[in-house]
A = this chain, B = another copy of it.
């Protein structure tokens, strides 16, 4: 059963070289003569040697692991992002370790610290925690990437998607369709994205057009449960914080016998894979997860290689008009 682990020393002995040489052969950095390289590789193969990742980490000080802290894995928005990053990271020989804070503000610091303890850096997706927590995490001396949140004070690198512009465009789209009474279904209050989207809605100063905010929360359940309050406003178009809320709302409206977009138009945000497959297909704002994921990883990799932190990448995107919006009756 517990076959003694084959270590670098066994290989060294078997190949008739020093452990340093074996290490060098596997590191591929320093030069080792053709012959010795062959002897080492041969011995390693014969003995079935595999480097001990943990020992490598301790000795080299690098774990080749990066932590990812997600507010909620149950949101397709995040796993699309994670999936992309997983692959980008894999290509560079890095592994991602994921923790889910379950929308709990209180859990973020501890989880973050714990992740940092086992990794070379931390990627925080849509963190809601206070900046003092971010500062403390940054104090560990390891790279920290922040996604979907603008941090000015601390010199943290970040990747952002311009939420304001497309949200405004989306709102204008409904106005151009002829809607005059809009409702904005708010998401998690502390999230930067929510703030940006709501800011876009507020910025919409068109004569004769009113925007009513309704607090929801960002989940499908929240969306469905908002149906009553939405109907009470007598609005003809609802712009939801994200796709999940929009999908929930549509289901809720259907239950009330209200048709979308016949009676009320509804929009989302994120363009999660499902948005294309709902009926009616959802008008939303496309969030380029591939780009965000790639940009995030590239910047993280840069930080790991010693880049100076503080860079900010701002990506842009546009609304996607599908079938859930139509002129009012």
Contacts and interface: CB of A to CB of B under 8 A. Distances in A.
A276 B118 CA distance: 39
A36 interface: no
B79 A99 contact: no
A273 B277 CA distance: 15
Contact of A76 (B76, B82, B100, B248): B76
Nearest to A273: B220
Given A3-B141, A277-B220, A83 B73 contact: yes
A74 interface: yes
Interface string A217-232: 0001000100000000
Contacts of A16: none
Residue from A54, A114, A274 whose CB has the most chain B CB atoms within 10 Å: A54
A86 B100 contact: yes
Contacts of A278: 251, 278-279
A28 interface: no
B74 A80 contact: yes
A101 to B, nearest CB: 10
B97 A96 contact: yes
Given A58-B58, A95-B99, A65 B118 contact: yes
Contacts of A97: 65, 95-98
Interface string A269-306: 00001101111010000000000000000000000000
Contacts of A95: 97, 99, 114-115, 118
Count of this chain's copies in the oligomeric assembly: 2
A83 B74 contact: yes
Tell me what chain A mostly uses at the interface: helix, strand, loop, or mixed. helix
A297 to B, nearest CB: 14
Given A277-B220, A277-B248, A141 B1 contact: yes
A63 B73 contact: no
* Interface bin, chain A: 35 or more
Given A98-B98, A281-B251, A73 B79 contact: yes
A235 interface: no
Interface string A299-325: 000000000000000000000000000
A2 interface: yes
A44 B57 CA distance: 24
Contact of A58 (B54, B87, B224): B54
A114 B74 CA distance: 26
A92 interface: no
Contacts of A251: 276-279, 281
A117 B53 contact: yes
A54 B50 contact: no
A264 to B, nearest CB: 14
Contacts of A220: 273-274, 276-277
B58 A55 contact: yes
Given A74-B79, A220-B277, 5 more contacts: A50-B117, A53-B117, A83-B100, A90-B99, A279-B279
